[in-house]
A and B are shown apart, each in its own frame.
Chain A
Amino acid sequence: MKLMHVLAVAVLSLGLAACQKPTKPDAAAGSATGDAGAQTSAVDASAVPTGGATALTPQQQALAELKQKSVVYFNFDSDEIDQQYVPVVAAHAAYLVKYPTARVRLEGHTDERGSREYNIGLGERRAQTVRRALLVQGVAEAQITTVSYGEERPAVAGSDEAAYAQNRRVEFVYAQ
């Protein structure tokens, strides 16, 4: 639970940064790396009890980098992956192909407008779009699970377009 919370916070803060500037600005990325690095090592320490906080395997390092871009945002009422997120999906696909034991969970979300259960369907559609993109790029079906939270788990509170834009998303969540 706690691990998920840390992950969620990391994903959220990175998601916010990503949303404000889709193309990664170096200075901002530098500070984001610092934060994410600290949180990732804490996560890894609990996941791998024998490993020291500094001794990251190449896979752990790759995962830490990947976690800086682990959200794909969507336009209103759309499940199409916007051009700017194609490299994000490709980076996750490359990682999953390289590490076939890695497992990813795709969490689909919508903004709060419209009916709740119908939004579960829209969130699922987004997660499936990302899933298909990963499959096309060679990821094995068994590596991917999907879940839709619809509007039930917003990334940020608020009822304006800025909040909506950050809540229409698919998050990549890794088990390890």
Chain B
Amino acid sequence: MHSTIAAFARRAAALLLAPLLLAAAPSHAQLRLDITQGVRDAVPIAVVPFGGQVEGGPSDIAAVVAGDLRMSGRFAPLERQDMVARPTTGSEIRYEDWRLLKSDFIVVGRVEADAVTFELHNVRTGTQLLTQRLGATEKNLRATAHRIADLIFERLTGIPGAFSTRIAYVAVDGQPPSQRYRLIVADADGYNPRTVLESREPIMSPAWSPDGQSLAYVSFEGRLSAIYVQRLTTGERRRVSARAGINGAPAWSPDGTKLALTLSRDGNLDIYTLDLATQTLTRITSDDAIDTEAEWAKDGQSLYFTSDRAGSAQVYRVVLDEARKAQRVTFTNNYNARPRLSPDGKELAMVTLDRGAYRIAVMDIASRNLRVLTAGRQDESPSFAPNGALLIYATRDRGRGALAIVSADGSFQQRLSSDQGDVRDPAWQPFQPRG
């Protein structure tokens, strides 16, 4: 097996600098976040406009922090017009004012020349819970605000915030058959969209490397599918698989050294693993069915994948040992596809056919209990936030492709919609190691 592939491997290993690459080019289509289903027991919190800043600007820190906390579904930030005062330090807070406004917590802060300082206080007890001074420049105030939101979220929920992470997705403009495809990376709240690849041919299935620095994706440039790995910081791009037939569904191993991918021979799709350093290809499944959409278990020792070997699409798991025996994992509903593991490895998100509609569901692996989270007709491509609290997925909104976010319990829903064209195929960036 390995020797027959060696020639391909050498060719595929060629380093390609993207001809279509527009490194960090600003995009036009900004996504807009709208809450479509709120939560009744969200915790009230006041995020007071920070001192040293003009209110309402694009890097209004308090507005970004409040937006992040609202987006989590767990907090209900107080509206600015209801704020009776504008304290910027803890000593300026009059707790009784905020108790009357029924805020449980309050965040105050100020922007200085090269730093931002914030404080989190418990209004009921009148105590400070957290204060920190973060180095900041005029240029990265939004990033600083997301970091503040991360810290506040973690202090109050015990769960690390994922507001500093980004999302990758595909945007499509124009009418068939002449469409333009763009691979975009944006902040988790939809801001700062950057086009990392643009093409007249389809782009699909972006997948983040475990270190959050690179994307693997499928591009049909050259009118055949191929898998590329692109490093976002440098724009360096490698074509890692361009074998005859299908090259699809890339998924990174937890250690980042391998990709699971889907290849075809005579039209039959099977799952392989590709060692990125040695280009060694290993066949994992060999079945007449469609085997695709691999997802690695957290220990890297097995793969979840979609197969229709039993007649309709279902999720299976194969252990990466010599026997490579696949076992069926899903038994509820007649269609379950594209498994994505939760960060703790205990749940699988997937697309399920629920009463005639394709919806996002999460299955508890141990109990096999499946809960449907969404109510669309064509929801697909679920991807967990790295803290497991939210999932992003693709849906349809007024005839167009849109992205949506749902809390892992299904109670909180919001939509990330674009003013033009379709957006689809979202992937949430993992946590990056902090240097």
Residues of A within 8 A of B (CB): 1, 4-5, 8-9, 11-12, 112-118, 120-122, 124-125, 127-128, 131, 146-150, 152-159
Whose C-beta in chain B lies nearest to the C-beta of A121?
Answer: B290
Q: Is B354 an interface residue (CB 8 A)?
A: no
Q: Can you list 19 contacts pairing A with B, beta carbon distance less than 8 Å?
A: A1-B200, A5-B177, A8-B178, A114-B337, A115-B380, A117-B249, A118-B293, A118-B338, A120-B225, A120-B292, A124-B267, A124-B269, A125-B267, A128-B266, A128-B267, A148-B225, A153-B177, A155-B176, A159-B399
Given known pairs A121-B269, A157-B175, the reply for A116 and B306 (CB within 8 Å) is no
Most buried by A among B248, B262, B308: B248
A153 contacts B292, C-beta separation under 8 Å? no
For the complex formed, measure the closest distance between the CB of B253 and the CB atoms of chain A, giving whole angstroms.
18
- Per-residue CB contact flags for chain B residues 418-435 toward chain A (1 = under 8 Å, else 0) read 000000110000000000
Instruction: Please tell me if the beta carbons of A117 and B248 are within 8 angstroms of each other in the complex.
Output: yes
Residue from A112, A117, A152 whose CB has the most chain B CB atoms within 10 Å: A117
B262, A117: Cβ atoms closer than 8 Å: yes
B202/A131 in contact, CB under 8 A: no
A115-B381, A117-B249, A120-B292 known; A149 and B177 CB under 8 Å? no
Q: Which residues of A contact B380 (CB under 8 A)?
A: 114-116
Is there an interface contact between A121 and B177, defined as CB atoms closer than 8 Å?
no
Chain A residue nearest to B351 (CB atoms) is A115
Question: How far is B245's CA from A15's CA once the two chains are assembled, in angstroms?
Answer: 25
The 10 closest A-B pairs by CB, nearest first: A128-B267, A121-B290, A152-B202, A115-B337, A117-B249, A8-B177, A115-B338, A154-B176, A121-B269, A118-B337
Q: Beta-carbon contacts of B272-306 to A below 8 Å, as 1s and 0s?
A: 00000000000000000010110000000000001
Give which listed residue, A127, A152, A158, contacts B267 with CB less than 8 A. Answer: A127
Residue numbers in A under 8 Å from B337 (CB-CB) = 114-115, 118
Looking across the interface, which residue of chain B has its beta carbon closest to that of A146? B267
Question: How far, in whole Å, are A112 and B308 apart by their CA atoms in the complex?
Answer: 18
How many interface residues does chain B have, given as a range?
35 or more
Chain A residues within 8 Å of B292, by CB: 117-118, 120-121
* Identity of the chain B residue whose Cβ is nearest the Cβ of A125 in the assembled complex: B267
Residue B153, interface by CB 8 Å: no
Tell whether, in the assembled complex, residue A147 and residue B176 are in contact, meaning their CB atoms are under 8 Å apart. Answer: no
Nearest CB on A from B222, distance (A): 10
Binding site for A on B (CB under 8 A): 175-179, 200, 202, 204-205, 220, 223-225, 245-246, 248-249, 262, 264, 266-267, 269, 290, 292-293, 306, 308, 313, 335, 337-338, 351, 358, 377-378, 380-381, 396, 399, 424-425
The answer for the CA separation of A61 and B179 in the assembled complex, in Å, is 30
Q: Which residues of chain A are near B293, meaning CB under 8 Å?
A: 115, 117-118
Contact at B178–A125, with CB atoms within 8 Å? Answer: no
Report the bound CA distance from A114 to B357 in whole Å.
Answer: 9
**Residue among A5, A114, A124 facing the most chain B CB atoms (10 A cut-off):** A124
Looking at the assembled complex, report how far the CB atom of B101 sits from the nearest CB atom of chain A, in whole angstroms. 45
B178 engages A5 (CB within 8 Å): yes
Contacts of B396 in A (CB 8 A): 159
- Quick one: closest B residue to A147, CB to CB? B224
Contact A114 B205 (CB under 8 A): no
User: In the complex where A117-B292, A120-B246, A159-B396 touch, is A149 in contact with B202 (Cβ < 8 A)?
Assistant: yes
Expressed in whole angstroms, the minimum distance between the Cβ of A72 and any Cβ of chain B is 16
Q: When the two chains form their complex, are residues A125 and B202 in contact, meaning their CB atoms are under 8 A apart?
A: no
In the complex, the chain A residue whose C-beta lies closest to that of B289 is: A121
Of B177, B245, B262, B335, which contacts A12 at CB under 8 A?
Answer: B177
Q: In whole Å, how far is A9's beta carbon from the nearest beta carbon of chain B? A: 7
